[in-house]
Structure 1
Amino acid sequence: MIATALDVFWRKGLHDATMQDLAAATGVQRGSLYNAYGDKEAIFLRAFDQYTGQFLEAAGNALSNADAAAGLRRFFDMIIVNMTDGSPPRGCLTTRTALDAAISSTDVRQRVQDVLTRLEQLIGKAIGTGPGKRSAADASRLARVIVTYTRGLAVMERAGYSRKQLRELAGTFIDAVVDNA
């Protein structure tokens, strides 16, 4: 049920999705949804938390490589596939939610900030450990730039850039980041 609700939120966004959309997609009556999960935002938060756990695990796995450049390439490929998957492509849930968060509750905004902070920490750890790598402070600052860049890729995807074009952009970015290490 939560995975199906997540798909609805991913396609429509938190504010455009309705309880009727959720009921139709899940096959659960609205009243039963309210009784089991609470309001639309409560369902969203539960779905977003599930997504966050899976996303951060996948990001950590992609970044786990002794070579920072190879880890970043796997990471960017994972997020590009994630946002270009589906027909039509579904985009980036975190970025979509961040844009919706301007009109959302404190809980939604905090969840978005938390996932981005945790992503920064994963990236900082991946690029800041091992021989010849950056200091922790430099890795942390660069990790924030990398996370910011991922949000830009999400916008480019929404603007119609193909998976191939996004991969080319990410490759150029990684080359610039690694060359300046």
Structure 2
Amino acid sequence: MLDAAVQCFWSRGYEATSIRDLIANTGLTGASLYNAFGDKRAFYQRALDHYVEGSIGERMRRCETLEPREAIESFFAEIVKRSLDDTEHKGCMLVNAALDVTSHDPAFQEVVAGVLLRIEEFFLHNVRQGQADGSVTTSLAAEDLARHLVGILMGVRVLARVRPDRALLEGAVRPALALLAAEKPGAS
């Protein structure tokens, strides 16, 4: 049921998704929907949480098992692949929420900001670990690199909605990953 709600909100957006759409796509009755979730906003919150844990959270958990630099590279490789495989050009539900809902809902702004902070912390952890093991440059602050990676991630996901072109998306990611490269000893 939550998967169906995610697909409904993700493809139409919060504003354009009606209770009737949710009933038709989830199989819930109106009464069941209201009893289980209270209202459309609460249902959207649960669907967004479900999306975040099943998509972004799952990706971060898979990448945590890799070496730091490889974790970041793998994270972005999956993002590019997912973006190119998105034949409906839905983009990222989190980014869509940031653009669709947060401008008029401070509580949702906090939710989205919290997820973005979680992603930033994932990058920061891997950058720091990479700096410690010598696989990531120490010429830039770990915090700045992590924030840069979040910015690249958001840019790629927005670009993918309107221009899901492999060269464009990989071209946006490649310099960010190159920026991470640690200088080789003796290089000048």
Shorter-normalised TM range: 0.7 to 0.9
Q: In the superposition, relative to structure 1, how do residues 63 and 170 fare at CA in structure 2: closer, same or farther (>3 Å)?
A: farther
The answer to whether 1:61 aligns with 2:62 is: yes
- Structure 2 gaps of 5+ residues are none
Residue identity matched to 1:2 = L
Residue identity matched to 1:62 = C
- Partners of 2:98 and 2:62 in 1: how far apart? 24
- Partners of 1:107 and 1:83 in 2: how far apart? 28
Q: In the superposition, relative to structure 1, how do residues 90 and 81 fare at CA in structure 2: closer, same or farther (>3 Å)?
A: farther
- 1:57 Cα deviation after fit: 3.0
- 1:63 Cα deviation after fit: 5.1
SS in 1 for 2:141: helix
Residue identity matched to 1:27 = G
Aligned partners of 1:121 and 1:143 also within 8 Å: yes
Q: 1:117 corresponds to which residue?
A: 117
What is the TM-score normalised by the length of structure 2?
A: 0.83
Aligned partners of 1:82 and 1:92 also within 8 Å: no
Q: 1:177 corresponds to which residue?
A: 180
Q: In the superposition, relative to structure 1, how do residues 13 and 118 fare at CA in structure 2: closer, same or farther (>3 Å)?
A: same
Residue identity matched to 1:111 = V
Residue identity matched to 1:49 = D
Q: 1:131 corresponds to which residue?
A: 133
Residue identity matched to 2:133 = P
Q: In the superposition, relative to structure 1, how do residues 180 and 158 fare at CA in structure 2: closer, same or farther (>3 Å)?
A: farther
Aligned partners of 2:63 and 2:75 also within 8 Å: yes
- Structure 1 gaps of 5+ residues are none
Q: 1:24 corresponds to which residue?
A: 24
Q: In the superposition, relative to structure 1, how do residues 155 and 105 fare at CA in structure 2: closer, same or farther (>3 Å)?
A: same
Q: 1:147 corresponds to which residue?
A: 150
Q: Deviations over 1:9-43 (max 9, x none)?
A: 11111111111111111121223211221111101
Q: How many residues align?
A: 179
What is the TM-score normalised by the length of structure 1?
A: 0.86
Looking at CA atoms only, which structure, 1 or 2, has the larger radius of gyration? 2
